[in-house]
């Protein structure tokens, strides 16, 4: 082969070798290459390092976002628990207040019941009036409470049964006036007031002596205010029997002094006609 043709071929081979392996400086640079994102190194000239840095920042951001979400959830749960506790506490407080009000109201009512005026009407006998031959039923009104009874009005009636009857057939209907009268009478605690029946209800003593085991009823009603301005009443009915009469009395002679025809201790509280509030 001629010399002028072999030389270009050698040059071409050398050029291909240079392209394949590079220059000595380039080979040394490739051998010294390391990761562009070593710890503590901020290689801003490397695109790959910037991507890793962005990924790390995103991961940290996601982590802190998760922590924030967890803290927010715990805070919300604590707020819900606090609200539930506050609601229960408020409910217990309300329940306690209601119970306290009920206790106070009960104590007030109990105090009023203990202190108010109470009027009791007890038998005071059937008595002969001075200068007459008639008998009148009497009662004794007593204030057994602790406050004065005001506006006291008392209605008393008396009547004798027509014949002797068995207990189960005894009188059961005892009418009393429904309205109270305006009075200024006051009965103080431990005080009493005596009153007889209406004159129209007197009974001749002779009739009492002639009746055999008849019943005499003294009944009526007392109206009053209990000291707290509350209207009250006491309904009463006392039963006497003519067999308990005072046999020493002359039924046809007028009395010069009050005489007992039937004593108070002979009276009985009838099974009907007694009530109070």
Q: Where are the domains of the chain?
A: 34-115, 119-276
The rounded distance, in Å, linking the Cα atoms of 111 and 96 is 22
Contact (Cβ atoms closer than 8 angstroms) between residue 184 and residue 176 = no
Q: What is the pLDDT of residues 213-271, one digit of tens each?
A: 899 999 999 999 999 999 999 999 999 999 999 999 999 999 899 999 999 999 999 99
Average confidence score pLDDT of the chain: 84
The pLDDT value given to residue 160: 95
Q: What is the pLDDT of residues 196-229, one digit of tens each?
A: 999 999 999 999 999 988 999 999 999 999 999 9
* Lowest-confidence segment of 16-20, 141-145, 185-189 by average pLDDT: 16-20
The pLDDT value given to residue 20: 45
The pLDDT value given to residue 270: 96
Where do we find the tokens 């209605």?
155
The rounded distance, in Å, linking the Cα atoms of 272 and 174 is 8
The rounded distance, in Å, linking the Cα atoms of 245 and 251 is 11
The pLDDT value given to residue 163: 80
The rounded distance, in Å, linking the Cα atoms of 89 and 261 is 73
Percent with pLDDT over 70 in the chain: 82
Reported pTM: 0.64
């Amino acid at each position: 082969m001629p010399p002028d043709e072999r030389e270009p071929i050698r040059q071409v081979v050398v050029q291909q070798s240079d392209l394949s392996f590079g220059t000595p400086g380039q080979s040394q640079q490739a051998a010294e290459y390391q990761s562009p994102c070593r710890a503590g190194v901020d290689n801003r000239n490397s695109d790959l390092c910037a991507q890793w840095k962005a990924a790390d920042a995103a991961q940290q951001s996601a982590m802190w976002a998760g922590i924030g979400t967890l803290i927010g959830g715990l805070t919300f749960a604590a707020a819900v628990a606090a609200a539930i506790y506050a609601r229960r506490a408020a409910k217990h407080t309300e329940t306690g207040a209601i119970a306290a009000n009920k206790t106070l109201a009960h104590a007030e009512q109990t105090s009023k019941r203990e202190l108010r005026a109470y009027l009791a009407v007890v038998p005071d006998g059937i008595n002969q009036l001075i200068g007459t031959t008639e008998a009148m039923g009497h009662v004794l009104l007593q204030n057994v409470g602790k406050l004065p009874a005001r506006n006291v009005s008392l209605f008393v009636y008396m009547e004798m049964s027509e014949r002797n009857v068995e207990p189960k057939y005894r009188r059961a209907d005892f009418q009393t006036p429904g309205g109270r009268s305006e009075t200024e009478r006051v009965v103080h605690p431990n005080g009493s007031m005596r009153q007889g029946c209406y004159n129209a209800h007197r009974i001749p003593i002779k009739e009492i002596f002639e009746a055999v085991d008849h019943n005499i009823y003294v009944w009526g009603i007392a109206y009053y205010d209990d000291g707290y301005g509350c209207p009250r009443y006491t309904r009463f009915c006392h039963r006497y029997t003519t067999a308990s009469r005072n046999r020493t009395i002359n039924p046809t002679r007028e009395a010069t002094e009050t005489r007992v025809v039937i004593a108070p201790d002979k009276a009985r509280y009838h099974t009907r006609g007694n009530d109070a509030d």
